[in-house]
Amino acid sequence: MNALAYSLRKQCKNLLLNLKNHPSQAVLAIVLVALMLFSLLGPQSAPVPETGYRDTAELGAGVFLLYMIFFILMANNGFGSGASMYSMADVNLLFETPIRPTTILSYGLIRQMGTSLLACIFIIFQYSWLHNLYGISIGFVVVVLLCFAAVIMCGQMTAMLIYSKTSADDRVKRIWRAVFYAVFLLLFAVCAYFILQRREEGFFNAAVGVFNTAAAAFFPAAGWMKAAAIGVMEGEWLPVLLGIGGTVGFMAAVVFLIARSNTDYYEDVLAATEVAHSAIVARKQGGMNEPVPKNVKVGKIGIGKGRGASAVYYKQLVERRRGGLFLIDRMSLIFIAITIVTSVIIGMGMDMEGETADGAEASSPAVVSVAGEAVALPEGAEESLDLNPAVISALAMSVYMQMFSSTMGRFAKELRLPYLYMIPESPFKKLLYCIRESASTLIAEGVLLWVPLYFLLKMDLPTAVCCVISRVFFGYLFIVANIFIERFMSSMPKVFSTIFYFLFAVLLLIPGAVGGIAAGAALSAVAGLPLMATALIAVSLVNAAVSLLFLYISRNMLVYADLNG
């Protein structure tokens, strides 16, 4: 055990030395710390809303939903490559030493605690709007973060247990998977039934009530940690003790079952660690670690369509069909879910503020905020003013989340192959066909996001359709930002290129935000068209023009392969 403690101490020391030897990582760490302090200290001086803070029951329901989704996603990994709490260095050094497997497993659990905390750090950046809506303290956000880390750890341990029990036999894996999905589908069906039973309260209030019932507290890990977090906020210590006790007992039971498993634990861990290591190496090299099933369904042979540059697009369609992959990846689904929940909460908060302002006369001209500046709408636009603050906040949240989830798709993989450079077509045309495959994914994301919001925010149909269209063009704008950074800054350290990507993406948003909204407002005033839908179409057209411009500037990346790092 002394050797393992020494290893942990050395890892912590090397982490600090790594910051010293790599200034780019040190700069990123300083920037993150500064942003965290800004998020934590900024809202302290904010005044209490006139309507008061919102009911913390909504916060409890949101915390439970977040914990439950991540626990299910983490545990579901056990039916694929599993989950590992080790690095390849641990596998090469520790697994060959005469140390008991249970001791090494304990070392992995301690190591995973730190990794889980780092994975949950994004919660701190949500403190600003959560404080403004619910009046929560910094301490409560830290408690939510710690509980979230515990939930992620339980999910990864569950994945390890599932993998160790099912990896040796496909028939057993199918049975476990069927039971796993059946249990959670049954739970969701029960939740939906009780929400419908309380539909007279409204969908949102009914869901909040169901997710805060005592039955929800019995959900493994997620329900226990939610009860503990809310218990700390309300000063009720019995739920805190029961939640922590249940989670610790769950971890102990999983560790016992893994240690007593008849299968080769080391072999299972090795397979999962190799998959994780290959993904890390692919990210460091700027490559693409594409999930491909073990049994690829070949189906029809050949591409079948395409000539010249268009053959790249049809090749990508064949690869997606054979991979059996969904149009939307898991991370995008998580971001979409977060956007929907956040938009509904903020939208209801705006409705409450709007109710207190009913009857007040609007003596000033209608204004909209463009790039942080209040801009008066042209005369006549006031009559067609159909701006819904909840829809605007949902649109802003979706663009913010899309900035993080947007990638170059299969184009990143194509850049590493020689065939794309050998096609006798213009580089600009090849670029267009390389990113064409992303259109179906962006449309599917837009539909999946805005169809629920259409009902939850009570939007009109033209605005909802225009929101879907705008998401497609925002997506292509961020794809072009990725391509531009890959063209001109791929030789820089990954940390710096990531920072420049976000800065450049924000700069690309400005023309659409200023020109698009102004043009949409003018057209709305002249032609009497709905302001929101017209502005969104104008923003989409400006984004399309900006995307084509910077894509043309980056075209030479397909002329010389050496330009791509």
Q: Span 134-154, mean pLDDT? A: 88
User: Is the pLDDT assigned to residue 471 strictly greater than 50?
Assistant: yes
Please, which pLDDT band fits residue 250 given cuts at 50, 70 and 90?
Answer: very high
Please calculate the CA angle 320-324-330 and round it to the nearest 5 degrees. Answer: 90
Q: How many residues are recorded in the chain?
A: 565
Residue 121 and residue 108: Cα distance in Å, rounded? 20
Helical (H) or strand (E) element with 199: none
Neighbours of 270 (CB within 10 A): 16
Q: Residues 109, 115, 121, 122: is their CA dihedral positive or negative?
A: negative
Please, which pLDDT band fits residue 371 given cuts at 50, 70 and 90?
Answer: very low
Contact between 215 and 53 under an 8 Å Cβ cutoff? The reply is: no
User: Is the pLDDT assigned to residue 409 strictly greater than 70?
Assistant: no
248 closest CA partner among 113, 61, 123: 113
User: Is the pLDDT assigned to residue 458 strictly greater than 70?
Assistant: yes
User: Is the pLDDT assigned to residue 359 strictly greater than 50?
Assistant: no
**Residue at 306: amino acid letter:** G
Contact between 505 and 484 under an 8 Å Cβ cutoff? The reply is: no
Q: Span 464-477, mean pLDDT? A: 94
> Residue 360 has what pLDDT?
44
> Residue 372 has what pLDDT?
40
The structure tokens listed for 413 are 């993989």
Helical (H) or strand (E) element with 354: helix 330-356
Query: Across the chain, what does the average pLDDT equal?
Result: 77
Q: Span 229-249, mean pLDDT? A: 90
Give me the percent of the chain exceeding a pLDDT of 70.
Answer: 76
Q: Span 63-92, mean pLDDT? A: 77
Half-sphere exposure of 393 (CA within 13 A, CB side): 17
Q: Span 210-233, mean pLDDT? A: 89
pTM: predicted TM-score of the whole model, two decimal places? 0.69
Please, which pLDDT band fits residue 373 given cuts at 50, 70 and 90?
Answer: very low
User: Is the pLDDT assigned to residue 348 strictly greater than 60?
Assistant: yes
pLDDT tens by residue, 76-87: 877 765 556 677
> Residue 135 has what pLDDT?
83
Q: Are strands 367-370 and 373-376 parallel, antiparallel or unpaired?
A: antiparallel
279 closest CA partner among 441, 83, 456: 83
**Three-class secondary structure of residue 367 per DSSP:** strand
Phi, psi (degrees; rounded to nearest 5) at 375: -120, 125
User: Is the pLDDT assigned to residue 43 strictly greater than 90?
Assistant: no
User: Is the pLDDT assigned to residue 507 strictly greater than 60?
Assistant: yes
347 closest CA partner among 296, 398, 405: 398
User: Is the pLDDT assigned to residue 120 strictly greater than 60?
Assistant: yes
User: Is the pLDDT assigned to residue 431 strictly greater than 80?
Assistant: yes
Asked which of 44-48, 121-125, 298-302, 392-396 is least confident by mean pLDDT, the reply is 44-48
Contact between 533 and 466 under an 8 Å Cβ cutoff? The reply is: yes
Contact between 445 and 471 under an 8 Å Cβ cutoff? The reply is: yes
